[in-house]
Amino acid sequence: MTNTPWWRGAVIYQIYPRSFLDTDGDGVGDLPGIIQRLDYVAGLGVDAIWVAPFFKSPMADFGYDIADSCDVDPLFGTLADFDRLLREAHARGLKVMIDQVLSHTSDEHAWFKESKQSRDNARADWYVWADANEDGTPPNNWLSIFGGGAWQWEPRRGQYYLHNFLASQPDLNFHNPDVRAAVLDNLRFWLDRGVDGFRLDSINFCFHDALLRDNPAKPKAMRTGRGFSADNPYAFQYHFHNNTQPENLAFLQDLRALMDRYPGIATLGEISSEDSLATMAEYTSGHRLHMGYSFELLTNDFSAAHIRDTVRALEAKMTEGWPCWAISNHDVERVLSRWGRGSASAAMANQLTAMVCSLRGSVCVYQGEELGLTEAQLPYESLRDPYGIAFWPEFKGRDGCRTPMPWSDDEHAGFSSAVPWLPVPPEHRALNAAKQQADPASALNGYRRFMHWRRGLPALRHGSIRFLDTPEPVLAFVRELGEERVLAAFNLGAEAAECELPPIGGLQSLQGHGLASGTLDGGRLRLPAHGSLFARVV
């Protein structure tokens, strides 16, 4: 496997800088805080870090509204801090991927400030502008994910501009070649500094339908959203025209051509479309993105059938590309609350990590998963997320998964010497990293054991996958690479389970992964609650 790119089968640890570690006492995490905890991250046994936005921003969407893509916001530090982060991470064998938000900017960006002044300035066509209808209404029925219409009136130009997210996040006009060139220049800036790859936020939102056609209505029974609540009006439409346009494919090829000039670079696209699995397959074929991930395993469905059917469907469609899986991130309820349904435990936390890290593909794991953190339940007055504030109380937003990392039992859980930007809940403080470090049975030490054990099984990192037909709540599959075949089986239920495995050959149980382990009696599989079994197929 010496010629295999580093990112194939890699475990990528997502760091949300605001909530990782604060070193300057302002209650917000920063780049020096990440540097200070790199030994901790390297000790987890992961391959890379993905750092969420740290660029200059008014922080209306906490960094995903970028005012300057080529500089660090003073809240997080300096460019020199970032360069040191790269050096220190590389010295520990960690690759560094950074977020890039290509489809839109902040309304404080210099490009937008110029574009909105008139219809004939140098950047007049850099954003999506449209005239009002005769009655003054917006040009079509497109909606913003964050609620309400996707068009905002700008009196200086006497036109509307498009925003698929907040009104302070205007969409760039990718039909303009100058925009595409400028965006690629921004990526080149970070490539020249030595980053190892990019996580591309909402990458299917770059282009819009040039004819501005209305989106069709979606039947009520079909209004289930990934990454947004079903009562959000956004779920009332099929989003055929405001994203995922065919012109994006050529741009992705141009983007890949730039990446190929820098050896060892990886691109990971976040994709949320009407058929995200099909879009993932399309975006990772034909020399486009290296990897794609979507929200299919970030839903509330924790059945073996859902996981099996999702991966099978992607395997059937993705004949060229490489998948990436995630069960938690900074945008959704933490997986132990979403799937735990009141039975969250260290054993379940370790099993979920093992399950997602045993699927074919790379994996993004979110900070705090290794500690077994659940979703923080915050009162309305503590909310900072505009999405949650707008949809409270039916949807509480994303603050509950973004609370600070608990490092110790000190005040503010060792995250900061000041009051943090979001409160640390007592149940998180009780799960702090220092306490778990000293407990061999903790979720943290279980996480480390599994990650280091996984590295010794190439089939789990690079092999093919074949699912076995097993009854709920058992999920079982075989990973195969060359002569190595490994059975992975998981009881996703809170009670013991057993089933008969279909004939696949002789089985020798594998030890050392540190999980609550099942047993084999011939072809009979017995698993404890949240139990797992790995076996070599001989």
SS3 471: coil
Query: 308, 336 in Cβ contact below 8 A?
Result: no
- Count Cβ atoms within 10 A of the Cβ of residue 265 and give its class: 0-12 exposed, 13-18 middle, 19 or more buried: buried
Residue type, 444: L
Q: Please, which residues have CB within 8 angstroms of residue 535's CB and are 6 or more apart in sequence? A: 486, 487, 489, 507, 508, 509, 510, 520
Q: How far apart are CA 446 and CA 459, in angstroms?
A: 21
User: What phi and psi values does residue 191 have, to the nearest 5 degrees?
Assistant: -60, -40
Q: How far apart are CA 53 and CA 422, in angstroms?
A: 18
Q: Which of 107, 201, 282, 370 is catalytic?
A: 201
- Residue 427 CA: distances (Å) to CA of 223, 287, 374, 405: 34, 46, 8, 12
Going by the DSSP 8-state scheme, the letter that residue 509 receives in this structure is: E
Q: Which of 180, 152, 177 is nearest to 164 (CA)?
A: 152
Q: Which of 30, 270, 331, 375 is catalytic?
A: 270
Measured from the Cβ of residue 495, the count of other Cβ atoms closer than 10 Å reads: 10
SS3 368: coil
User: Is-cis flag, bond preceding 473, omega within 30?
Assistant: yes
Going by the DSSP 8-state scheme, the letter that residue 404 receives in this structure is: P
Q: How far apart are CA 182 and CA 170, in angstroms?
A: 16
201 is catalytic: yes
Q: How far apart are CA 70 and CA 378, in angstroms?
A: 34
User: What phi and psi values does residue 435 have, to the nearest 5 degrees?
Assistant: -65, -45
Query: 59, 9 in Cβ contact below 8 A?
Result: no
Q: Which residues on adjacent β-strands are paired with residue 127?
A: 172
Helix extents (H) in 225-275: 247-259
114 is catalytic: no
Place of tokens 């059945």: 303
DSSP of 194-213: T--EEEEETGGGS---TT-P
Measured from the Cβ of residue 417, the count of other Cβ atoms closer than 10 Å reads: 14
Six token digits for residue 291: 């990897």
Which residues are catalytic, by number? 201, 270
